[in-house]
Amino acid sequence: MKFFRNQLFFGIVFISFFSCSQKKINGVSLVSPPKHVEDFSLLDVRQIHANWVAIIPFAFCKDESPNVYFNHNRQWWGEKKEGVLELINLARQQQLKVFLKPHVWYRKSWIGDFTLENEKDWKIWEQDYVDYILSYAKIAEEQQVELFCIGTELKQVVLKRPLFFKELITKIKQVYKGKITYAANWDNIEAVNFWNELDYIGVDAYYSLSDKKEPTVQELKLAWDPIKLNLYQLSKVDNKPVLFTEYGFESSDYNTKETWGSNGKYPVNERAQVNAYQSLYETFYGEDWFAGGFLWKWHLTDSTYRNQEKAFSPQGKKAIEVVKKQFKK
């Protein structure tokens, strides 16, 4: 009976925690503009009923160097502090909440594969990374940003340097008092050992769902079911809501086979993108333990939007009507 009472108490606390949560995060991930944008640039975001934007100040690292480079002159305007501050201001003008999401770009390949061979290099990288993250954590505090990300898809770093992140979280909380998360790649969420110190379980949700060229909504929902159960159980264990820090689908054939991106090798298929979005919304958005998410991605300038026929953005495509309908609920 004691075990049952403990389980019942946990269940009541868990349900109470999520029933008191705010409305869903209906967010878009902004593509960092190369140069200054007009004041009305985020008006279209409001018109699809989004209530959040993710702003991404990129840093860079090279395979032959343990250093992390950020806020330098060769970066695009929106990736640097100047652009980040202006984008936050533009978001405020449209009554949009802000998720500040630093992301290290690995010039050799995907950042999740980044690793180092010796302790000396790791110490250099970690110190540079702390400088990078804290510089934006301070901006997040000064600008009263609602949500801050401590890292994005650092798969090998999480596996090989788990204590580093716990120390980093302590340092972040000394300068930033808002909510925090980490954006784990979909195949790495169980390896993260610090979810209990964050406010959300963050997932970049590019799960492989189907080998079909154009699976139906129902077929995709069946593929989502075991993933949904796994995320629910993780949420229950850590007593934290799940947030899709990124999600999205290309407008092409086979867009749920290599959901992380096929580099344009398949033909355009907007219906496949519609089905994929619809399946995600129908699977997750009715769940109290699911906080919402940030679709990938939203362009603010014509220069970055060119050649997007097969790419992730739903802008100007059939899928945008699915997004608008869900965000309006």
Could you report the per-residue pLDDT of 284-309, keeping only the tens digit for each? 999 999 999 999 999 999 888 888 89
- pLDDT number for residue 19: 43
Domain assignment of residue 293, yes or no: yes
User: 201-254 pLDDT, tens per residue?
Assistant: 999 999 999 999 999 999 999 999 999 999 999 999 999 999 999 999 999 999
**CATH code for the domain of 167:** 3.20.20.80
- pLDDT number for residue 209: 98
What 3-state DSSP class applies to 98?
strand
**Sequential DSSP letters for 235-276:** HHHHT--EEEEEE---SBTTTTTSTT--TT-S-B-HHHHHHH
Domain assignment of residue 92, yes or no: yes
Domain assignment of residue 311, yes or no: yes
Domain assignment of residue 3, yes or no: no
Contact status, residue 21 vs residue 241, Cβ threshold 8 Å: yes
User: 10-57 pLDDT, tens per residue?
Assistant: 343 444 444 444 699 999 999 999 999 998 899 999 999 999 999 999
Tokens standing for residue 142? 């000064």
Domain assignment of residue 101, yes or no: yes
Ramachandran class of 307: left when φ > 0, alpha when ψ lies in -120 to 50, beta otherwise: left
97: pLDDT strictly greater than 60 = yes
Q: How confident is the model at residue 7 (pLDDT cuts 50, 70, 90)?
A: very low
Asked if the bond preceding 265 is cis, omega within 30° of 0, the reply is no
Range of the domain at 162: 25-328
Contact status, residue 303 vs residue 253, Cβ threshold 8 Å: no
What number of helices (H) and strands (E) belong to the chain? Answer: 10, 11
Domain assignment of residue 1, yes or no: no
Domain assignment of residue 230, yes or no: yes
Calculate mean pLDDT across residues 98-119.
Answer: 92
- pLDDT number for residue 108: 79
User: 163-206 pLDDT, tens per residue?
Assistant: 999 999 999 999 999 999 999 999 999 999 999 999 999 999 99
Q: Which residue has the tokens 């929106």?
A: 78
- pLDDT number for residue 162: 85
Task: Quote the CA–CA distance of 296 and 247 in Å, as a whole number.
Answer: 6
93: pLDDT strictly greater than 50 = yes
Q: Report pTM.
A: 0.92
Domain assignment of residue 8, yes or no: no
Classify burial at 169, counting beta carbons within 10 Å of its beta carbon; exposed 0-12, middle 13-18, buried 19 or more.
Answer: middle
Q: How many domains does the chain have?
A: 1
- pLDDT number for residue 226: 98
Task: Quote the CA–CA distance of 33 and 130 in Å, as a whole number.
Answer: 25
